[in-house]
Amino acid sequence: MKQIALYGKGGIGKSTTAANLSAALAGEGLDILQIGCDPKHDSTRMLMHGSWIPTVLDLIRERGDANITADDVVFRGFRGVRCVEAGGPEPGIGCAGRGIIATFQLLERLDALKGDVIAYDVLGDVVCGGFAMPMREGYAQEVYLVTSGELMSIYAANNIAKAIARLSRRVRSKCRLGGVICNEKNLEGEDELVAEFARRINSSLIASIPRDRIVQLAELHRQTVIEYAPDSEQAAVYAQLGDDIYRNRKTSIPTPLEMDELESFALEFVQI
């Protein structure tokens, strides 16, 4: 079983990438489980044709942990992808990371953490205890950083690299960095910047995903690009990403940049 996690700044396109990645892998006949680890609980929505599935945290609040079955939290989406949403607390109350912790505990009890590939879609603006759980507890063995060429997106990716580096020092830790994914914003020199960032943190650029209107059109139709426009160039990019990640065996312990190094690095490319 291959367990991967996509981390990145909120709004960077993690969920779109994760859903299309899962759809592409499922198209190869693989059994895929996607777990949304974001309080917005929208990771699996396009796989579910626009449906907002019940979140684990909401069900626990309503029924209690002991009264929940696998059928209550695991839903079949496009191409049979199994979908789970952790959810989050009521606004202004509780910790968002708690939903992730509760979800993993429940799925372990229900023996639902299985399949050829488990994809964790995790918010990366902060890497507190709950959001770091997929890495810390050995669930996510390969982490992929989703970023653009914007400074704050790179900053968030670098912070996640710091968490991986710290967690990797644990004797039994299996958490490693699998690569960096550039979700393009059409900035000048963006691919080169992200590729160099990946190199400097001891990793590599595994894919560049073009900014394409077809993504928005697919989402307006409540579908992944893989389903909405299977013959499009964008669908081919996601299919290649899925193949590259599934076959990837090269991981690393990252060497994150210090803040002054990160700012100097960004300035180098602004001046080009």
Residue range(s) defining the domain that contains residue 167:
2-270
State the residue for tokens 């892998």: 25
| pLDDT at 217 (0 to 100) | 98
| pLDDT at 129 (0 to 100) | 62
Helix (H, G, I), strand (E, B) or coil at 119: strand
Which residues touch 1 (CB under 8 Å, ≥6 apart)?
114, 115, 116, 117, 118
CA–CA separation, 124 and 199 (whole Å): 20
The count of domains in the chain is 1
Helix (H, G, I), strand (E, B) or coil at 95: coil
CA–CA separation, 24 and 20 (whole Å): 6
Check whether 140 has a pLDDT greater than 90: no
Which residues touch 2 (CB under 8 Å, ≥6 apart)?
116, 117, 118, 141, 142, 246
| pLDDT at 10 (0 to 100) | 86
Check whether 187 has a pLDDT greater than 60: yes
CA–CA separation, 179 and 199 (whole Å): 10
| pLDDT at 75 (0 to 100) | 97
Helix (H, G, I), strand (E, B) or coil at 167: helix
CATH (domain of 192) = 3.40.50.300
Task: Give the residue among 206, 159, 139 at the shortest CA–CA distance from 178.
Answer: 206
Residues 227-261: b if buried by 16+ CB within 10 A, e if exposed: bbbeebebbebbbebbeebbebeebbbbebbeeee
Task: Give the residue among 144, 251, 132, 152 at the shortest CA–CA distance from 207.
Answer: 144
The answer to whether 185 is a known catalytic residue is: no
The answer to whether 2 is a known catalytic residue is: no
pLDDT band at 135 (very low <50, low <70, confident <90, very high): confident
CA–CA separation, 233 and 167 (whole Å): 37
| pLDDT at 167 (0 to 100) | 85
Give residue-wise pLDDT tens across range 51-64.
Answer: 999 999 899 989 98
Check whether 115 has a pLDDT greater than 70: yes
The residue type at 71: D
Section 200-224 average pLDDT:
97
Which residues touch 9 (CB under 8 Å, ≥6 apart)?
124, 125, 147, 152, 153, 155, 156, 157
The answer to whether 9 is a known catalytic residue is: yes
Evaluate whether 80 touches 26 at the Cβ level (below 8 Å). yes
Query: How distant, in Å, are the alpha carbons of 8, 97, 110, 257 from that of 145?
Result: 6, 19, 29, 15
Query: What end-to-end distance do the CA atoms of the chain give, in Å?
Result: 43
* Tokens, residue 218: 């697919």
Catalytic residue chosen out of the listed positions 2, 31, 40, 58: 40
